[in-house]
Chains A and B, each alone.
Chain A
Amino acid sequence: MSRWGLVIDLDRCTGCQACVVACKHENNLPFSTPETADVGRLMTWIQLVAADLPGRPMPSSLPLMCQQCDRPPCTDVCPTSATYLNPEGIVAQIYPRCIGCRYCTNACPYAVKIFNWTEPEWPESMAGMRNPDVSARPKGVVEKCTFCHHRLIAARERARVAGRELAPEDYVPACVQICPAEAMTFGDLSDPHSDVAALASGPRAFRWMEELGTQPKVVYLREGE
């Protein structure tokens, strides 16, 4: 069974936010305004946050999305099992089952679970530009990064129809695909020969707020070493 993980090299990340835009477009996230951001209702599954890292004089920009924890605090508090850790290590969110209680948004130490305060709306000029593989989440549910799980479903189907095994390049989330600095590496952490497994066990690797014991599968690489 695969165990999907993401490695982000902070030495390569330029903070261009291409991943943020790609994620919004891939996952049908509606636009946010400065006003909605000011009141903490920014709709984005990835944010660049300023992080003070040891040995760095300036804060680093750190792309922060759902850390796909192996011990996710959010799933423990969900009263309807709308969010759970799936067999491949992705913390899934089942929107029709979510009652919008926001226990999970409070339990998540990374603050990356987003509550939908409004119905999703796009400008008329963007009609027909929605990704048909992803639903538009209604008002009143919590949503989050799923490592573009819909891409995994599609990739697995293509591989099965072609009568072959899923290859590492078949399944890549939108943020990884778009990153112009190639700062992101995605793959199967359970495969010892994968790039992602080698990087995640390297000397530069660290997990964000790993002292909490959430065991994230998003791994960062320290800068300047």
Chain B
Amino acid sequence: MRRYVFPVIVAVLVAVGWVLVLPPAPMAQPIAFNHAKHASAACVLCHQGATTGVRAGIPQADTCTRCHATAPGGKISEAAWTGIASGRRIAWQRLTRLPDHVAFSHRRHTGPGQLACASCHGDVAQRTAPPDRAPVRLVMTTCLSCHTREGASEDCAGCHR
């Protein structure tokens, strides 16, 4: 019996480490969007709702064509630009996901909470290529450490729905 104890402990530690340490699988975006090139514009220009709504929107073709009348020279394939120009849906991969049981409002955190987007989304605004995974790994302790530091509510029911 005792000879199984050590392998079992190792297996459990590896499993826990796998979940806690390793990042999620990388994701490829349909367009090689350069955030740094657009950094002079406010995040909310494309991610509408980030300051006024519960969810921050992910831009679609109409958002791009509001500023771009023609294809940005040499930065995007002709096929991709034709899709955008014709208003076809861009199949962005969402990097940051919250579980269904978490109640999170962008408006509350960017408004009364006065948080910058980078607080949760890291250096994504400086990236020249789309990140293949969320720059910041958001877990409950990430939220709680900030709530504790800032004196925000730590009532479980305030965020768990």
* Residues of A in contact with B (beta carbons under 8 Å apart): 84, 86-87, 90, 92, 94-97, 132-136, 146, 149-150, 153, 157, 160-161
**Is B127 located at the chain interface by the 8 A CB criterion?**
no
B 36-67 contacts with A by CB, 8 A: 54
Task: Give Cα A146–Cα B103 distance, bound, in whole angstroms.
Answer: 15
Residues of B with C-beta under 8 A to A136: 100
A160-B111, A160-B112, A161-B112 given as contacts; is B158 within 8 A of A153 (CB)?
yes
Task: Give Cα A94–Cα B161 distance, bound, in whole angstroms.
Answer: 7
Residues of B with C-beta under 8 A to A95: 101, 160
**Is B155 located at the chain interface by the 8 A CB criterion?**
yes
**Is B105 located at the chain interface by the 8 A CB criterion?**
yes
* Cβ contact within 8 Å between B161 and A160: no
Instruction: Say how far B104's CB is from chain A's closest CB, in angstroms.
Output: 10
* Cβ contact within 8 Å between A146 and B157: yes
B 98-145 contacts with A by CB, 8 A: 99-101, 103, 105, 107-108, 111-112
Task: Give Cα A150–Cα B112 distance, bound, in whole angstroms.
Answer: 18
Instruction: Say how far A83's CB is from chain B's closest CB, in angstroms.
Output: 10
Residues of A with C-beta under 8 A to B19: none
Task: Give Cα A134–Cα B105 distance, bound, in whole angstroms.
Answer: 13
Task: Give Cα A191–Cα B143 distance, bound, in whole angstroms.
Answer: 32
**Is B8 located at the chain interface by the 8 A CB criterion?**
no
B103, B158, B161: residue with the most chain A Cβ atoms closer than 10 Å: B161
Residues of A with C-beta under 8 A to B10: none
Instruction: Say how far A9's CB is from chain B's closest CB, in angstroms.
Output: 28
* 23 pairs, CB–CB < 8 Å, chain A vs chain B: A84-B156, A86-B155, A86-B156, A90-B157, A92-B155, A92-B156, A92-B157, A96-B101, A96-B160, A97-B156, A133-B103, A135-B100, A135-B101, A136-B100, A149-B157, A150-B103, A150-B161, A153-B105, A153-B158, A153-B161, A157-B105, A157-B112, A160-B112
Residues of B with C-beta under 8 A to A87: 155
Task: Give Cα A149–Cα B105 distance, bound, in whole angstroms.
Answer: 15
A94-B157, A135-B161 given as contacts; is B103 within 8 A of A161 (CB)?
no
Instruction: Say how far A98's CB is from chain B's closest CB, in angstroms.
Output: 11
Q: What are the 5 closest A-B residue pairs judged by CB atoms, nearest first?
A: A92-B157, A135-B101, A160-B112, A135-B100, A94-B160
Task: Give Cα A97–Cα B101 distance, bound, in whole angstroms.
Answer: 11
Task: Give Cα A95–Cα B99 distance, bound, in whole angstroms.
Answer: 12
* Cβ contact within 8 Å between B108 and A157: yes
Instruction: Say how far B102's CB is from chain A's closest CB, in angstroms.
Output: 8
* Cβ contact within 8 Å between B107 and A161: yes
Instruction: Say how far A202's CB is from chain B's closest CB, in angstroms.
Output: 30
* Cβ contact within 8 Å between A94 and B156: yes
A160-B111, A161-B112 given as contacts; is B161 within 8 A of A134 (CB)?
yes
In the complex, besides A86-B156, A133-B103, A157-B112, 9 extra interface pairs with C-beta distance below 8 angstroms are A84-B156, A92-B156, A94-B160, A95-B101, A96-B160, A134-B161, A157-B105, A157-B108, A160-B111
Residues of B with C-beta under 8 A to A146: 157
Nearest B-chain residue to A84, judged by Cβ: B156
Residues of A with C-beta under 8 A to B105: 153, 157
Residues of A with C-beta under 8 A to B155: 86-87, 92
Instruction: Say how far A131's CB is from chain B's closest CB, in angstroms.
Output: 10
* Cβ contact within 8 Å between B111 and A161: yes
